[in-house]
Structure formats: structure tokens, C-alpha cells
Amino acid sequence: MTSRRAAIGWIALGLSAFSFMSSASALDYPTRPVRFVVGYPAGGATDILARLIGQRLSERTGQQFVIENKPGAGNNIGTEAVVNAEPDGYTILLVNPANYINATLYSKLNFNFLRDIAPVAAFNRTANVMTVAKEVPAKNVAEFIAYVKANPGKVNMASSGNGTSVHLSGEMFMMMSGAKMQHIPYRGAALAITDMLGGQVQVIFDNMPSIIQHIKGGSLRALAVTTAEKSELLPDVPTLGATVPGYEASALFGMGAPKKTPPEIIAKLNSEVNAVLAEPAVKARLIELGGDPLIGPPEAFGKMIADETAKWEKVVQAAGVKID
């Protein structure tokens, strides 16, 4: 009996020591460079956001957060690289709308995002903007719905590609308003906007950062923002939900890590990210990019991810969009 108690005691002591070492390693973390994987090429809005946060994390921690661009397969290549990485805190993911959409959009994935990526911290939400060509006579959302219904088959909706948040924000609008349009996918928003300016397509639900200068310059006209609240960047533009009750679409960004990353390291990363988001200069830049910072615990970000995934599942299924 004594030897059994002694054995149990040694096991408990070993677990305590292991727990202490894990906590100590989390306190020291990071002790070497961290790979911050972005599933898109350099220079886009997602990459810009990762570099903004990554630079400040590097300065705060004394270790480089190295942006690693892994584009391809609609963000899935970068995500899979993080899913399969060592769960030691030295490989993290820029979480973005494609992660929530692709869970339903792709019929064959080698991972399950909700299961295989641990939420670390939210960054921000950015609005898409329902924007029309100058030739479109409608001056508000209600008039646009009436215009589409009076001209069946004649209104073209541009997007930055099949299954993107730009595309599915438009699909959600069609699903909830009954205004059916022809979807014209492009290889990126820049090409879509060029044809908008030329009058070949009539409407786009584009990301705020890539469309706002055309709106402010007067070459395109904003009818509504897709978020639940109005945007500081376009204070005179109403929400789409004001006309189509219940409509809300936004691009939620944040940080994730491989599922088995120690909770102490996730907590340390979350604390550092929240400190960065609270800095006035970072907050101002995030607002310029389209949304206020979202400061909170990993669990809050996890709830947002689950809600976004469920919301876009309904839209993907209603639109009948699928990628093998």
C-alpha cells in the first residue's frame, strides 16, 4: 500500500513539474521566430492586416513574427499548412472569411477548420459595400430591388471570384430580397471594378478597402454597407439591414493556431494581440482598413467563428455553389 501511495505521489509530483515547466515555457514564449501564415499573396488586404499586427508583435516580444504567404486553393493551402504544423506556438494562421465559407463550399478538404484550428484572438470586422455603377438609376436599396425585379436577367453582379465573401454577400442579398441577378465572377476585385467603371456590370458587394476610393471619388455610388452598424468611413451610407431586415455580412479576421497548441501559449498570444489592438495607432489603422478592433478572449473569437461558419453554410447551400 505504501509503495502504491508513493507511486501516486511521484506521478502527481511529475505532473506538477510538467505543468510548471509548461507555464514557464509559456512565460518565456516566444524564444525564436514565429511563422505567421497568410493564405493569400503579398500586398492584398489580408496580407496588409497580418503585417500590421505581426510587426507590432515582433516589437513587443523581441522575436520576429515572419509573414509567410502561402496562396492557393482559395486559402486552403495556407490553412492546411498550419493544421499540420507542430502545435508549439511557432506557427500561427491569419484567420479570414474564406475559412468560414470554405467549410461548406469545398466538398473535399483535408481538414476540418472548426475542429483543427484553435481560436487565439479576433482582430477586426470589415464591411463590404453594396456599390453600383453610375448608370444605375436606383439611389437606394429599395429602388435597386425594384429596378432588378423590373429588369429580369439584365442586372449583372460582379465579384472577386466564386465563393468569396464578395460573391456570397451578394448571394445573401438575393436570397433575402428576392432580387435575382446574374453573377459574373472575376479573378480579383480590381478587374471587377474596371468593368464596373466601364458599365459592363452594375453592382458589386466589395470589401471596403478596395472600393472606398472609387466611392469617395464619385466614379461609383454606394447604396449600403453590409455590417449591422454604419461605418465611420462612410457615415452617410445606410446599412443594408435597414432595408432588408436581418441582413448582416462582414469580414471577420483574427489569429488561429494548431488545435493542440498549449493553452498557456494561446493565452500569451491573446494577451499580446489584445495589447496591440488597444494601441491608438493600430486602432486608427484598423478603422482605415474598415473596422474597429475586437478585443476579447479566445473563447469569444471561437464563438464568432462558429457563428460565421453556420451563417455562410446557409448561404452557400441556398446559392447551390460547390467546389470539388
Q: Is the pLDDT of residue 119 over 60?
A: yes
**Mean pLDDT across the stretch 167-187?**
96
Q: Is domain 127-242 in CATH 3.40.50.720, yes or no?
A: no
Any idea which residue has 482559395 for its cell?
A: 74
What burial letters (b/e) apply to 29-38, b meaning 16+ CB within 10 Å? bbeeebbbbb
Lowest mean pLDDT among 19-33, 206-220, 250-264: 19-33
Helix/strand/coil for 69: strand
When pLDDT is cut at 50, 70 and 90, the band that residue 209 belongs to is: confident
When pLDDT is cut at 50, 70 and 90, the band that residue 18 belongs to is: very low
Beta bridge partners of 131: 204, 222
CATH 3.40.190.150 domain locations along the chain: 31-125+250-319
Q: Is the pLDDT of residue 21 over 50?
A: no
DSSP state of 296: -
Within 10 Å of residue 17's Cβ, how many Cβ atoms? 10
Within 10 Å of residue 80's Cβ, how many Cβ atoms? 20
Per-residue pLDDT tens for 301-322?
A: 999 999 999 999 999 999 999 8
Looking at the chain, the whole-number percentage of residues with pLDDT higher than 70 is 92
CATH 3.40.190.10 domain locations along the chain: 127-242
- Whole-model pTM: value is 0.87
Question: The domain 31-125+250-319: what is its CATH number?
Answer: 3.40.190.150
CA distance 223 to 236: 10
Q: Is the pLDDT of residue 14 over 60?
A: no
pLDDT (0 to 100) of residue 47: 92
Pairing status of strand 34-38 against strand 91-95: parallel
- Number of residues assigned to the chain: 324
CA distance 19 to 149: 64
Closest CA to 121 of 317, 11, 235, 272: 272
When pLDDT is cut at 50, 70 and 90, the band that residue 45 belongs to is: confident
Closest CA to 180 of 145, 206, 204: 145
**Mean pLDDT across the stretch 88-111?**
96
pLDDT (0 to 100) of residue 23: 52
Q: Is the pLDDT of residue 290 over 90?
A: no
When pLDDT is cut at 50, 70 and 90, the band that residue 291 belongs to is: confident
When pLDDT is cut at 50, 70 and 90, the band that residue 20 belongs to is: very low
Q: How many CA atoms lie within 13 A of 267 on its CB side?
A: 9
Helix/strand/coil for 112: coil
pLDDT (0 to 100) of residue 43: 85
Contact partners, residue 216, CB within 8 Å, separation at least 6: none
Average of per-residue pLDDT values in the chain: 92
DSSP state of 153: T
DSSP state of 183: E
Q: Rounded to the nearest 5°, which phi and psi values hold at 203?
A: -150, 150
